Amino acid sequence: MNHDNDQYDIETLGVRAGTVRSQFNEHSEALFLTSSFVFNSAAQAAARFKGEEPGNIYARFTNPTVTMFEQRLAALEGAERCVATASGMSAILATVMGLLSAGDHIVASRSIFGATVQLFNNIMARFGVETTLVSATDVDEWRRALRPNTKLFFVESPSNPLTEVSDIGALAALAGESGARLAVDNCFCSPALQRPLELGADIVIHSATKYLDGQGRVLGGAVLGSKELMEGVFTFLRTAGPTLSAFNAWVFLKGLETLKLRMDAHSASALQLATWLEQHPGVERVYYPGLPSHPQHALAMRQQRSGGGIVAFDVKGGKEAAWKVVDATRMISITANLGDAKTTITHPATTTHGRLTAEQRGAASIGDGLLRVAVGLESVRDIQADLARGLDAL
């Protein structure tokens, strides 16, 4: 199923879109484990390399299994083209290296993943690309940060770990007025809950490692947008080689089949858990877009289909108390990964955002008592009871 994707619902696209069968007419998508592809003649090889004839060449940049994943995810996001990469961070790297040059300027939310901050501030800066970090929610800060050489806006919405929600439409309008492109990291929602391109974004970025897989099995990433924009990203990938493996692409194809079902379940459980946490005496504050108490609740409910599966909360008593809650768990996995069928818990200040300075963490409102829970598919009652072991003892 490769045509007329608009007539199908997201559940159907997740199962069927992008599927191409080989000569054997297999039902499940085929896994092509090969480094290269054979040509019928020297002329065909030359035509393939020149781009005059479509077809596979070398697995660094062409593989049928990877292509099926790219086409399926593009259908889910409503994008013209998808470029798959080896990880979520390599997707961000491919975006900036493929679209920016020395002397260009990025405006990014300060409420982004710690490794993304490191990439922008410590690596891209060495190549003459400067970054200004601003509030995820104050559009006026983005406007004030604009320069004549601003070429990219970058935002996570909801953000990691505080689930701040950015006004994607307003940022898209501002970017369009200034000649910049808006890239939205859609990792927390996935296309099952949010489609940033429909809201005006130019680029969508995924760590496929998270919800697109859904079971914490493999690494991968993706960049999506117009054919024109993605050509620059693809050119970087073809040359530099941050390539998604065929096996990982095949795993992601299987993950996408259940994406909508899983995201609905994650969201329902997360809302139930967040509501319980908000009433617990050991919790100072809960951050979850599905709660009416969330500062951007109304915006989130306009942009997203539900609140998602990530709940963050401040524990009374700072780092010592937060660590006690983590260490008291018996079922929940203590790991920084998210988007898994298994519920995970992490202390952002000393893990995902541990490489940031104390000043940077403070600017991003990541306190020592903050915990992030990625709600899995277990019983909510069991998740709640596991957190209560530590919270009740504070």
Residue 3 has pLDDT above 70, yes or no: no
Q: Running DSSP on this structure, what letter comes out for residue 245?
A: P
Q: What is the DSSP string of 170-237?
A: HHHHHHHHHT-EEEEE-TTT-TTT--GGGGT-SEEEEETTTTTT-SS----EEEEE-HHHHHHHHHHH
How do residues 309-327 score in pLDDT, each as one tens digit? Answer: 999 999 999 999 999 999 9
Which residue, among 166, 217, 188, has the nearest Cα to 311 in the 3D structure?
188
Evaluate whether 300 touches 307 at the Cβ level (below 8 Å).
yes
Cα–Cα separations (whole angstroms), residue 62 to 36, 39, 234, 262, 266: 9, 14, 11, 30, 34
Q: Counting every residue, how long is the chain?
A: 394
How is the beta sheet containing 333-334 ordered, strand by strand? Answer: 283-287, 310-315, 370-374, 344-346, 333-334
Residue type, 334: I
Amino acid at the residue 300: A
Q: What are the angstrom distances between the C-alpha of 34 and each of 65, 246, 367, 369? A: 11, 8, 47, 48
Provide the pLDDT confidence category of residue 23 given band limits of 50, 70 and 90: confident
Residue spans per domain, the chain: 5-256, 260-391
Task: Work out the percent of the chain whose per-residue pLDDT is above 70.
Answer: 99
Question: For the chain, how are helix, strand and coil distributed in percent, rounded to 5?
Answer: 40, 15, 45
What is the arithmetic mean of pLDDT over 68-75?
98
pTM: 0.95
- pLDDT tens string 89-116: 999 999 999 999 999 999 999 999 889 9
pLDDT tens sequence across 344-389: 999 999 998 888 888 888 888 899 999 999 999 999 999 999 999 9
What pLDDT sits at residue 1? 56
Which of the four CATH numbers 3.40.640.10, 1.10.1740.10, 3.40.50.1970, 3.40.50.850 does domain 5-256 have?
A: 3.40.640.10
Looking at residue 204, its pLDDT comes to 98
Is 231 a residue whose pLDDT tops 80? yes
Sheet holding 203-207, edge to edge: 81-85, 221-225, 203-207, 181-185, 150-156, 105-109, 130-134
Whole-number mean pLDDT of the chain? 96
Domain 260-391 class in CATH: alpha beta
Position 376 scores a pLDDT of: 98
Backbone φ, ψ for residue 328 (5° rounding):
-80, -15
- Confidence tier at 40 by pLDDT (50, 70, 90): very high
Neighbours of 80 (CB within 10 A): 14
Pick the closest to residue 245 from 394, 356, 137, 90 (CA basis). 90
Q: Is the dihedral of CA 308, 314, 319, 325 positive or negative?
A: negative
**Residue 311 has what pLDDT?**
98
* Residue 4 pLDDT level (bands cut at 50, 70, 90): low
2 pLDDT above the threshold of 60:
no
Measure Cα distances from 82 to 69, 136, 159, 323 in Å. 9, 26, 22, 40
Q: How far is the CA of 56 from the CAs of 11, 48, 67, 190, in angstroms? A: 29, 8, 10, 29
Hey, what's the torsion of the CAs at 297, 222, 264, 72, to 10 degrees?
A: 130
Sign for the CA dihedral angle at 182, 186, 189, 191 comes to positive
The whole-number pLDDT of residue 114 equals 85
Residue 31 CB contacts under 8 Å (≥ 6 apart), including other chains: 65, 246, 247, 250
Q: How far apart are CA 321 and CA 327, in angstroms?
A: 10
In angstroms, the CA 258 to CA 108 distance is 32
